[in-house]
Amino acid sequence: MKLAPSFYQRDDVVLIAEQLLGKYLFSKIDGSLTGGLIVETEAYKGPEDRGSHAFNHRRTPRNEAMYAEGGIVYMYVCYGIHDMLNIVTGPAESSHAVLIRAIEPTEGIETMRIRRGITTDDRKLCKGPGALAKALALNKNHNRLSLQGEVVWIEDRNIELEPEKVVATKRVGLNIDEPYISIPWRFYIKGSPYISRP
């Protein structure tokens, strides 16, 4: 069952990022269904977060999707190379988002191998946000798509993670000041071989 819009439209982006662990992310592109278990996320808390594209209420054509009501996709290109899949959360204008950093592939694995050019180690297929987007064939053309549609969506399959299985730690690759460089807004499933890094 797809997650309801109300799941995304709550104001606590950090809680949503944590609760997305154990949910299933899917895309259906050119008739190919691909996806898997979400094992790693990062929260970006709108205008107060120096790591966010919407820090200090910054608003540009690039990040306009962040200001929509929660439950849509925000896609952007990092370093001019990697597409990055983010989930917009919160009420309209709050500008919160969750970066999906890694999934454990469960569906359409052969298709993902072809897209990624990887045939020897399925753990690498969706390890890191750029790899994940490529494996799912998601790019900036999918920006602003609803998660209630048939192209990209997230399902709840009633997986209950024990609290000790959830790790909270600092986010990856941010060149910003404290406290936001160290704040524990990255979440991953402990022991998963599919996360981007320990």
**pLDDT-derived band of residue 165, with 50, 70 and 90 as boundaries?**
very high
Q: Exposed e or buried b for every residue in 120-138, given b needs 16+ CB within 10 A?
A: eebebbbbbbbbbbbbbbb
- Average confidence score pLDDT of the chain: 95
Worst-scoring range by mean pLDDT, 43-52, 76-85, 182-191? 76-85
Angstrom CA distances, 112 to 125, 145, 191, stand at: 7, 21, 23
pLDDT surpassing 90 at residue 123: yes
pLDDT over 70 for what percent of the chain? 99
Q: Would you say 115 and 134 are in contact if contact means Cβ atoms under 8 Å apart?
A: yes
Q: Residue 120 pLDDT > 80, yes or no?
A: yes
Q: What is the pLDDT of residue 79?
A: 67
Q: Indicate the pLDDT class of residue 175, thresholds 50, 70 and 90.
A: confident
List, in order of start, the domains of the chain with CATH numbers.
5-189 (3.10.300.10)
Q: CB of 54 within 8 A of CB of 67?
A: yes
**Mean pLDDT to the nearest integer, 24-47:** 97
- How is residue 13 written in tokens? 């982006």
Rounded average pLDDT over 173-189: 91
User: Residues 59-118: pLDDT tens digits?
Assistant: 999 999 999 999 999 999 986 678 999 999 999 999 999 999 999 999 999 999 999 999
Which pair of tokens denotes residue 192?
A: 């998963």
